[in-house]
Structure 1
Amino acid sequence: SSEGTVRNSAGDNMKMELLNILRGEYSDPHTSIFYYRLDDLKEVGDPSTWLKAQPNLGATVSYETYQRDVERAEHVPAARNDILAKRFGIPMEGYTYFFTYEETLRHNRQDFWGMPCSIGVDLSQGDDFTAFTFLFPLSRGRFGVKTRCYISERTMLRLPGATRQKYEEFLQEGSLMVLEGTVLDMMNVYEDLEAFIADCEYDVRCLGFDPYNAKEFVTRWENENGPFGIEKVIQGARTESVPLGEIKDMAEDRKLLFDQSMMTFTMGNAITLEDTNGNRKLLKARRENKIDSVAALMDAWVAYKLNKDMFD
């Protein structure tokens, strides 16, 4: 398989395991590894080194093709990282990916039992991810982060092998729940989430939600918990840009304390589209590149900022 631009994906995890074998960190004499890549970015401009990354150069692919891609990488920044990864085996992050690899690395395991928090809600049509992210204000400008996601049993069964392996990891850590049925019943989701909050004794003081498909859930939440601290977070570049920038700053400073692979996965998938005014909107490159926990984190952050007095 060629190198990619998405860190923490199923393929990236397999590559890291093979690299551990190559480094001698553990022995596996039954696995044969052929790893082709340039040793350094400086070699991209030297055609005499390209055979290291592509042993079929001059046979199944021409030097001219590689030369055209090198020139394109120099003049089209958006294509640069993909070319460096696919042609030269140099692991890069996509040009528009929002978080760096270092920002997606998990912290040590945290327990926020009984603590006050804001919750962000990102609901689906029923056959896709539904995500809830809890944001816990801590000292020195830091915030604890926990996420809990839901998919239907049918969605889980239809996953391809590599993706299913990744989802099994989420199941084991408790960040993903699979509910019976073809589509998610939001009232079943509500009741499971309610039991989870009670079990952890989280003190939820405000809720931010994307209005898409959220009416039934939010109406029940308001009836059972009161109308205070419920904030609608409209999606779009004009409204998302500021909270996304603030979340990015906290991620850079490692002030978002998360310990779940689900957060690493969704942060690694997050890209942003920038309009002519410099406003950014959260997106994903492909349907399977889930970003729901990050979207819910943004909703939780907006609700927290609008209700800081509830945390005094």
Structure 2
Amino acid sequence: MNDPSCWPKANPLLGVTITEEYLAGVVKQAKDMPGKLNGILRLHFCVWTDAETAWMTRATLEPALADFDPAEHEGKEIALGLDLSQTRDITAKACIVQTGEIEIERVDDRGQPYKVVAPTYDAWIEAWSPGDTLAARAVKDKQPYELWAKQGFLQAPKGESIPYGHIAQAVAEDAHRFKVMALAYDRYAYRSFFEPELNALGVSIEQVEHPQGGTKKGKPTDTMTAAAKRAKKEPEGLWMPASVKGLEMLLFERRIRLRRNPVLVSAMMSAVTDEDRWGNYWLAKERAANKIDAAIALCMAVGVMLAAPPAPGAKFQMFFA
């Protein structure tokens, strides 16, 4: 893969059905985003690989990290992603907001460049972990949880489990400060334990199922179904492979700023990918000590945002269109 002179051996139709420029771009993606490596090796270089590989590189993530205050977006429309945990993992909530539009250049499958106008975004996370076991888990996981909590990057409420009321209050604050288009959730603990907390606070926002694995899609909401019908397409629910690819696209095209937070950075750098026989992949972790909850929540929020119908008069196409 690293030697272009060998490419024709694995790609006999190079220059016929695909161009050398296109394949060079594919190879660059594999180097920038290791999670894409397995699929690219199999598809373009006839190399079978293990299912799991690192997802993110510093070179891809660093340009997206920025210091900004979410308060500058108050009143705007945001999408939320929520990854709930209870005792050992980190609970994470991610928010994403559109910030503008830029013209970017893409390359089609024949290596031909073309320009499109596409939206830009800001995203940030909040994270929680049980306060009573924070020190012990910091030693076990080899992560500076106590320092992150002291610096304000990680909330550590008292107790050996995370009180869902705290997270529900954070969602309620979002609903007050912003216009929440939808909250993406995974079924784990949501309907039985978290939704009642939202209802108790009188929070009324659209909630959309977003499974975290890659085996099934969530049920589309009425809004998603109506948008699909207007586009004369079959309505589809959210699923992690599409949301992961959506976040990758935003990172590759430098169209997203991520508010600097070590909890998020650690999650992004700790994630690996698992995939099915068709090349669909999603985030996973190699060891229990790898906490990828913030990365999962971010993908879920991105999935909601990119699946939303474009605003009236918008120049760009939806990612899933």
Asked if these proteins are the same fold (TM beyond 0.5), I'd say yes
Amino acid at match of 2:283: L
* 1:177 equivalent in structure 2: 155
- Indicate conservation of the 8 Å contact 1:99/1:248, yes or no: no
* 2:88 equivalent in structure 1: 127
Gap change, CA 1:240 and 1:160, over 3 Å in 2 = closer
* 1:292 equivalent in structure 2: 293
Deviations 1:205-252 (A, max 9, x none): 3110111111222344356232x5210112322432122111111122
Deviations 1:13-34 (A, max 9, x none): xxxxxxxxxxxxxxxxxxxxxx
Uncovered stretches (5+) of structure 2, i.e. residues with no partner: 1-46, 102-118, 216-238, 315-321
Q: Distance in 2 between matches of 1:247 and 1:231?
A: 18
Gap change, CA 1:263 and 1:188, over 3 Å in 2 = closer
Amino acid at match of 1:301: V
1:195 Cα deviation after fit: 6.9
- Secondary structure at the aligned position of 1:303 is classed as helix
Q: Distance in 2 between matches of 1:230 and 1:148?
A: 18
Gap change, CA 1:309 and 1:283, over 3 Å in 2 = same
Uncovered stretches (5+) of structure 1, i.e. residues with no partner: 1-74, 80-94
Whether 1:99 aligns to 2:65 is no
Larger deviation: 175-184 or 152-161? 152-161
Larger Rg: 1
- Indicate conservation of the 8 Å contact 1:123/1:130, yes or no: yes
Q: Distance in 2 between matches of 1:273 and 1:164?
A: 24
Q: Distance in 2 between matches of 1:77 and 1:211?
A: 31
Aligned residues: 220
Amino acid at match of 1:176: L
- Indicate conservation of the 8 Å contact 1:206/1:230, yes or no: yes
Amino acid at match of 1:237: G
- Secondary structure at the aligned position of 1:184 is classed as coil
- 2:67 pairs, out of 102, 105, 109, with 109
* 1:166 equivalent in structure 2: 144
Q: 5 Å matches for 1:198-277?
A: 201-215=177-191, 216-221=193-198, 224-226=202-204, 228-238=205-215, 239-258=239-258, 259-277=260-278
Q: Distance in 1 between matches of 2:254 and 2:276?
A: 27
Q: 5 Å matches for 1:38-77?
A: none
What root-mean-square deviation, in Å, do the aligned CA atoms of Structure 1 and Structure 2 show? 2.9
TM-score, normalised relative to structure 1? 0.62
1:161 Cα deviation after fit: 4.1
1:189 Cα deviation after fit: 3.2
Gap change, CA 1:170 and 1:255, over 3 Å in 2 = farther
Runs of 4+ in 1 over 6 A off after TM superposition: none
1:182 Cα deviation after fit: 1.4
